[in-house]
Structure 1
Amino acid sequence: MKLNSIWQQRTAFSLALPVIAATLFLTQTACKKNHDNPTPSPATITQTVTTDTSFSLLAGGLGSAGLTTTLSGPGPFTVFAPNNAAFAASGLTASALASIPAATLKTILLYHVLPSKVPAAQVPSGPNAKVVTASGDSVFVTNNTNGVFVNGIKVVKADVAASNGVIHVLAKVLIPPAGNLVQTAQADTNFSYLVAAVTRASQGSTNVAAILSGGGIFTVFAPTNAAFRAAGFATINDINAADPATLTKILTYHVIPGRAFSSDLTDGAKVMTANGESLTISLSAGAKVKGMTNSTASNIIATNIMATNGVVHVIDQVLLP
C-alpha cells in the first residue's frame, strides 16, 4: 500500500510538470514583454505641442521665438497654451504671427508660461488672483465652479500631462499689457476720439487722464470712434469744443472701480460706476451693457484687453447716465 501511494504521488507530479513549465514560460514571456515595452513617459511640453497638429501655430511661434529648447528643459513649467482655434478667435493668423518681431513674440509667449507646475486643482480660486509669469508680467486667475480662467479667458482643457510640467489649453491668446489704461487707448487708433475726450475732460476740475494713468485699478468700457460719432461728436473738434465737466460725467460713467473681466460679468447685474451711477449688464443675447438713458444697449465687441492698471472692454455706443 505504501509503494502504491508513493507511485501515485510521483505520477501526479510528473503529470503536473508540463502545466508548471507552461506557467513559468508564460510568466517569463509576460515579464519580458513588459520589460521590452514599458509604459511610455509623457513627452516634454515642446514635444507635446510640436506633435499635436491642433497646436501648429503655437509650435511655429515657439520656434520663431527660440523657446523650443527652453520648454524641452527640466522645468517644471505650466503653459496656458492657445491652440489653433484660440489663435483664430484672437484674430492671429500664421502670417500675422510671422510679422511679429522675435523679441516681442517671445515676450507674448512667455506671458503664457509659469515657472512652476500648477495643476488645475491648485490654481488659486481668486477671483482674479495675481500670478507672475515667466515674462515678468502678471496674469489674473480664477478657479470656480465654471472652470479655470486666465485674464477672463477660459481654460477649455486642463491638465495635459508633460514630463516637465503641465499644459492647460486656452480659448484665446493672452496679450500682455502695452501700458496703463490711457496708454492702451493711445496705442489703438480706434480710440482716438476717446483719447481726445479724456484729454479735454482733464482740462476741467477733474484730471481724468491722471486718474486713469495712476495707481488705481479700473475697468473701462471703451467706446470706439464710430460710437462717439453716433453720439453726436462728428469730429474730434467737436470733442475739443465740449464742456470738460460734461465729458467728465460721461467718461466716468464708463469706468468701474476694480478689475472686472468678461468672466466676472453676470446677466442682469447692476454695476456701480466711478461717477456713482449704475450700468446694466446683459448676456442672454450676446454680451451687452446699457446706460440708464440709452434707448438700446451697447454691444461689447471685444473683451479683456489688458492694461497695467486694469482691463478694457470695447463697446459700440457711448453710455449715457
Structure 2
Amino acid sequence: MSMELKMRWALAPLCVMALAACGDAADKADGTGAAAPSSRTIAATLKDDRAFGTLERVLDNAALGDVLDGKGPYTVFAPSDAAFTASAGDLGDEAMKAQGAAMLRAHIVPGALTRADILAAIAREGSGEVQMRTMANSLLTFSKEGEAVIVAGDNGARARLTGSETLASNGVVQPVDALLVRPAAEAAN
C-alpha cells in the first residue's frame, strides 16, 4: 500500500469524527447527555480546575495559553496532576519549555470531540478503534476496554478518559489519567 493511500486511511476517521462534532449545541443538549458549551475558553476552564494545576503551569511556560484562548475548536486530552507526578521531569520549568510545548501539542486535536463523538466513531469502525492526528502530527488511537475509553499515543503511552468532559466555548476538555507521550528522560531509558 502506498504511503499516500496509508495517509488517506489514517486521516479518514479524523474527518468522520470532525464531521460528527459539527452539530450545534442544541443537538448536544437534547438528550445525548452532553452539556451545552460554556462561555469560557479551554484555557480558562483549565485554569479554574484544580485537577489541572500542573497542566496549567506547563501551558503557561510553553506560551500556548493564547492558542487555547483562541478561536479553535480544539479537543484537549488533559492529563491530571497525578499523571504528571508519575512522569519524569518538571515540564513547567523554564528549561523544559520546548519539551512542555511538544507534550501539549501531542494532547491536542483539531475539532470539538465529545465522548459521544469518540464512542460513535469507534462503533462505526469495524476494527474497534479509531485514530486522530494531533497538533504534534502524531496519532492517537481510541478504543474501548469494557466501559473505559482508552487512548494510546503512537509511542506506546496509554491513558483512560476519566472524569467529566467540559464543553468550552472553543472546544472540549477531556480529562485523562496519564500522559500520552513518554517524557524524554523515560524514553531514553
What TM-score do the two structures reach when normalised by structure 2?
A: 0.73
Deviation at 1:128, TM superposition (A): 3.5
User: Partner of 1:289 in structure 2?
Assistant: 151
User: Partner of 2:110 in structure 1?
Assistant: 257
User: Partner of 2:140 in structure 1?
Assistant: 279
Unpaired segments ≥5 residues, structure 2 = 1-18, 123-127, 183-189
User: Partner of 2:176 in structure 1?
Assistant: 315
Distance 1:268 1:229, change over 3 A: same
Deviation at 1:238, TM superposition (A): 5.9
2:54 is matched with which residue: 169, 172, 193?
Answer: 193
Tell me which amino acid in the other structure corresponds to 1:291: G
Q: What are the Cα deviations for residues 276-309 of structure 1, in whole angstroms up to 9, with x where unaligned?
A: 11111011431011112235x2010034311110
What TM-score do the two structures reach when normalised by structure 1?
A: 0.44
Q: Is the 8 A contact 2:91 2:99 kept in 1?
A: no
User: Partner of 1:212 in structure 2?
Assistant: 68
Q: Is the 8 A contact 1:178 1:308 kept in 2?
A: yes
1:129 is matched with which residue: 23, 45, 51?
Answer: 23
Does 1 or 2 have the higher relative contact order (CA < 8 Å, sep 6+)?
2
Give aligned pairs, total. Answer: 155
User: Counterparts of 1:238 and 1:127 in 2: how far apart (Å)?
Assistant: 31
Is 1:227 aligned with 2:121? Answer: no
Unpaired segments ≥5 residues, structure 1 = 1-124, 131-138, 142-149, 152-167, 203-207
1:243 is matched with which residue: 96, 103, 115?
Answer: 96
Moved over 6 A (4+): none
Residue 239 of structure 1 aligns to a residue whose secondary structure is coil
Q: What are the Cα deviations for residues 64-99 of structure 1, in whole angstroms up to 9, with x where unaligned?
A: xxxxxxxxxxxxxxxxxxxxxxxxxxxxxxxxxxxx
* Amino-acid identity (%): 25
Q: Which has the larger radius of gyration?
A: 1
2:45 is matched with which residue: 181, 184, 188?
Answer: 184
User: Partner of 1:91 in structure 2?
Assistant: none
Q: What's the RMSD between the two structures over aligned residues?
A: 2.3
User: Counterparts of 2:107 and 2:20 in 1: how far apart (Å)?
Assistant: 25
